[in-house]
């Protein structure tokens, strides 16, 4: 089975010097043919975006090749930025079962890839991500982007919505992972 070439639609990277007192986290917004990702680093009280973007699967790519492309793209980001924690948006679908099934398949592949690399996994709900960025569990995408601009001190929000959903997941994951009340799944 041939894997179609990996295609990053939008990717922004700012390579930073490694800080021994920092925490690196990857946020992931899973999808069947596009997965948003964002790697944030927290050093002291400063949070920076190291990279963000989407792993795109070409239109018409059948399963399971689409899953291999998503896996390859995620591994590339993980191997480059070496996060110790992942925040993967928890999924909930009530209407379209076929779409839900495909997204759950890709989410499973992404989770297995993280587990293979011994990365702690956090799974915040969409409502937790909205509340953690805006203060409201019912915020819309525009409100989340505005909040992220303020929280992270960025002016330009380029790229696909999926990449910014991943930034939000990573941001909330940083908050969750630093809470003494939270016990992340530690994989052996």
Q: Is residue 183 part of a domain?
A: no
User: Of residues 29, 41, 123, 165, which has the active-site annotation?
Assistant: 29
User: Of residues 41, 123, 162, 165, which has the active-site annotation?
Assistant: 162
Q: How far from 96 is each of 33, 67, 90, CA to CA, in Å? A: 16, 20, 17
User: Of residues 41, 89, 123, 165, which has the active-site annotation?
Assistant: 89
pLDDT exceeds 50 at position 87: yes
In angstroms, the CA 10 to CA 8 distance is 6
Q: Is residue 69 part of a domain?
A: yes
Nearest residue to 85 via CA among 134, 22, 36: 22
Instruction: Output the known binding site for Mg(2+).
Output: 29, 89, 162
Number of independent structural domains in the chain: 1
| Whether residue 76 lies in the annotated active site | no
| Whether residue 162 lies in the annotated active site | yes
What's the confidence (pLDDT) of residue 85?
A: 96
The CATH number for 13's domain is: 3.30.420.10
pLDDT averaged over the chain? 84
- 57 by Cβ neighbours in 10 Å (0-12 / 13-18 / 19+) ranks as buried
Over the stretch 90-123, which tens digit does the pLDDT of each residue have? 987 667 787 788 889 999 999 999 999 999 999 9
- Mean pLDDT, range 47-66, rounded to an integer: 94
| Whether residue 155 lies in the annotated active site | no
In angstroms, the CA 1 to CA 150 distance is 45
β-strands 85-88, 120-122: how paired?
Answer: parallel
Q: Which residues span the domain enclosing 133?
A: 7-177
Q: Is residue 77 part of a domain?
A: yes
């Amino acid at each position: 089975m041939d894997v179609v070439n990996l295609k990053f639609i939008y990717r922004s990277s700012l390579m930073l010097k490694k800080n021994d007192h920092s925490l690196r986290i990857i946020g992931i917004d899973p999808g069947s043919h596009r997965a948003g990702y964002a790697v944030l680093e927290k050093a002291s009280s400063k949070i920076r975006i190291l990279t963000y973007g989407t792993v795109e699967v070409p239109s018409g790519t059948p399963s399971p090749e689409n899953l291999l492309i998503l896996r390859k793209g995620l591994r590339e980001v993980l191997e480059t930025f070496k996060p110790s924690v992942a925040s993967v948006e928890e999924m909930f679908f009530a209407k379209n079962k076929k779409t839900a099934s495909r997204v759950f398949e890709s989410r499973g592949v992404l989770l297995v890839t993280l587990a293979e690399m011994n990365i702690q996994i956090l799974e915040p709900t969409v409502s937790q991500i909205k509340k953690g960025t805006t203060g409201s569990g019912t915020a819309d995408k525009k409100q989340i982007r505005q909040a992220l601009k303020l929280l992270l001190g960025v002016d330009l929000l380029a790229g696909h919505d999926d990449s910014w959903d991943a930034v939000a997941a990573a941001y909330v994951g940083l908050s969750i992972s630093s809470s003494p009340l939270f016990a992340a799944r530690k994989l052996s």
